[in-house]
Amino acid sequence: MCWETRLRSYLQTRYDTKMNAFDWDYHMRLVEKGADVIDKHEYKKWRNIGVAFENRDGDYVLPNTTLASGIILMKNGERINLRGYWGDILVGPYIAMGIESDFKELFKKFNGYYRKTARNVTEHNLTSMFHTIMTGETYIPPKETGTTDNKVTESIPVDSFKVTFLPFDAIKSMPLKEQYKHLFDIIYFSNSSIHNLIPEITPIFSNQTKIIIETAKFMLDLRKEKLQDFIDKATEKIHSVGCKVSYPVDAQKDAFIKFNFERENC
């Protein structure tokens, strides 16, 4: 229901021809940006019902309520509390882990079509990442046997690795706490959180920090000139914390901006 409501609100008069709208977005936006490994049918199904990855046999009929959240909207001058899904309904979750990989076998084509899709690339990348975290070794995919192992196993403790979840507004208070002083060697900013890149947060940077900013390349609603505007804004933010972009950035092609922060007199 939440997904359907978002679709109707976004598409409006195009809702009755939504499958055509999804097809246009796929060919004229995603494929144009080099994300053609995303399968058209998987993408259109996700756009229609919100299911992106189907890794088991069976119907996915229960909603994932963990993605629901509350929001306060103004309507006719009144504040209204609403609960629903307010995340992405345009690009899809395939971009993060599903369009690039060091394992180039995933991108082989047969008769002009990819043998694997973004779903397979995502599965490989996640498996590789968890394997490296667990063992400290590079993941080598096993040869395909045609059989599936459905055995349930317990989670494996990894003493050398720890994940800490923080609230959304933690970035405001972290520079004030001693435990975070000069702590982070790598910091990633999504294109929706770049406003947090301000001089006030530099106390949490280590003496040599690698900073990665997601560009607006895959913000499909933006026109091409707006992509460059985003790069210009990001460059201003980079300069504000005492860094410089060390290489030219192509707003149409580059998905990330990478640069280094070095603390003076450290």
Instruction: Identify the structural domains of the chain with CATH numbers, from first to last.
Output: 2-53+63-135 (no CATH), 170-262 (3.30.110)
Mean pLDDT by 10 residues, the chain (266 residues): 88 95 95 94 95 83 84 85 88 94 94 94 94 88 68 72 85 94 94 93 94 93 91 92 83 91 77
pTM of the model: 0.82
pLDDT at residue 66 in the model: 86
Please tell me the predicted confidence (pLDDT) of residue 146: 61
What are residue 66's DSSP bridge partners?
Answer: none
pLDDT (0 to 100) of residue 148? 60
Check residue 149 and give its pLDDT.
61
Ramachandran angles phi, psi of 162, nearest 5°: -145, 135
